[in-house]
Every structure is written in structure tokens, then in C-alpha cells.
A and B are shown apart, each in its own frame.
Chain A
Amino acid sequence: MAFNTLEEKLETRAKAILDGDETFSGYSITVSKGEDDDELSLPRCLVICEGGEESIPGLGNFNCELIIRLVESMDDTTLANHQTHVATMRDLFMDDGIAGTLTDSSEAVTVFGVKSFSISKTVEDRNWVCDLSLEVLAAASNIT
């Protein structure tokens, strides 16, 4: 078995959390991974992990940034609805049990903890864009 696709595993888990939530999936927002061949349409939610750095050399545990980016057109989605969607998305991840939720034995990924969260929002062209970033400490295997 091969292990070291940590970015892909974290993206897969984040997508599964969004897709598996009844409320968020009810918004009909397509969730795509950052490394994906999906055609990107609106509204969309991207889960992106671009890389990480070993926390302590030799341990094989990595500090990674996991970004969840919600993009909706202001021509199709009111600001109030967008903000509701953002809150739902953020609440799923800004949870004190999120490390355990991201950890998954079948995906062979362990998240030891979430070190910090950061939030941001902006407008690009006529799109609402909202980010949530998680700094996680994770390993690409099942660790008990």
C-alpha cells in the first residue's frame, strides 16, 4: 500500500464532510477538490491542500494548510443566502472535534489536531468569495 498523498487525503476528507452534511448538500453547491478535473461552475466550493512541511524532521507528521473556499455569483445568490452558506460551511469545520472528523481509517489519514483557523472574504468580479483555512498537523497513515 502506498501512503504519502497527504494533500489528496485531506482534500478528500474535507469534501466528504461537506457532501455528507444534509444542510450544506441541500444548497446544491458543487464541492470540488483542489486537484480535480471537475469543470468548475458556480456556485462551487473548493477544498484545497497545496502542501505541508514536516513538523519535526524525521517524524513524518506534517503541518498542512487546508483551505475551504466558497464561491457564489451575486447574480444568482443573494448576500444573505451566501452568508448563510458560509456559516454552515464554517460551522462544519470550526468544531472542536474536527481533527477526529478529518481522521479516517479507510482513507488512511490521521489528523492529530487543528492548530488554528483563519477566515477571509472578498468579492472577485461579480462573485462572493469566502475562505476558511485550517492549519492541521496530520500524517498520511492510520495512527492510533
Chain B
Amino acid sequence: MATIQGTSIQYGIASNATTGMTGQAAVTNVSGGNRAETKRIKGNDGDTMSYVIADPTIEVTAEVVCSSSADIPAVGTTITLANFATAELNADYYVTSSDSNQSNENEMTASLSLLRFTGTNASGFSY
């Protein structure tokens, strides 16, 4: 039996974490991680003989509270995530979609979808 004393955790988003988006007031949510295309190579009996993993990427979605100078980025432009607790996410990304969310009841926010190619042959991308 052990006394409950709490557990070490990572809490919140660092105040200096940034998406690099012009007009970002604060980042409220970031989620994402590793993706890849996969293929099962099957034998005559239908069982998988080999499993191919190719074209790895990191896909991230981010929610940003905007300042008055908000300028949602165009698809294809590059932005840089920095100072997030998950170090693997701190890198350059292509913007694959960007949404402006406006309401007369809340702060204006932007939703960003980001993509980074991480394969060995992906060095040609000029993020």
C-alpha cells in the first residue's frame, strides 16, 4: 500500500509556444504525431509476410487565439512550431488547411492543419 502523493505530469502549453502564425495571440490546443503509409504483403495462404511502412510524416492540428492582426496562412505556406513540450513537433510544416473561426460570443480563433514529411528522401522540401 502506498500513500497517494500526486503524479508528475506535463501540464498545459508553454507560454512561449508558438505556431509562427501572423496574428497569433496564444496557442490553446495542439495535437498530432507520426503517420505513415503502410502495406501488407501477403502470401498464398493470406497471411501477412511483410509489412511495409513508407512515406512517414508528422501531421499536426493547432488551435490559435488571434490578435487583431490575424492573418490565416494560405495552404502551402510554411510555418514553424516552436517551444512545445513534445520536441518532435517543433519543426517546419506545410499548411494543408487553415480556418478562421469568428463569433459574436467568443474570441476569434484559427484552426490550422499542418504536415511535415520526415522520410529520408524528404530533404528536398523547402519548408
Contacts and interface: CB of A to CB of B under 8 A. Distances in A.
Interface of A: 2-4, 59-62, 96, 110, 112-113, 137-141, 143-144
A61 B12 contact: no
A120 B12 CA distance: 26
Interface string B25-62: 00000000000000000000000000000000000000
Contact of B6 (A96, A113, A140): A140
Given A4-B5, A62-B6, A140-B6, 8 more contacts: A112-B11, A113-B11, A139-B5, A140-B5, A141-B6, A143-B6, A143-B7, A143-B8
A113 B12 contact: yes
A141 B11 CA distance: 16
A96 B12 CA distance: 12
8 contacts: A2-B3, A3-B4, A4-B4, A59-B7, A62-B6, A112-B12, A139-B5, A143-B8
A61 B15 contact: no
By secondary structure, the B interface counts as loop
B9 A59 contact: yes
Interface of B: 3-9, 11-12, 15
Nearest to B7: A59
A25 B102 CA distance: 45
Nearest to A54: B4
Interface centre among B3, B4, B6, B15 (most CB of A within 10 A): B6
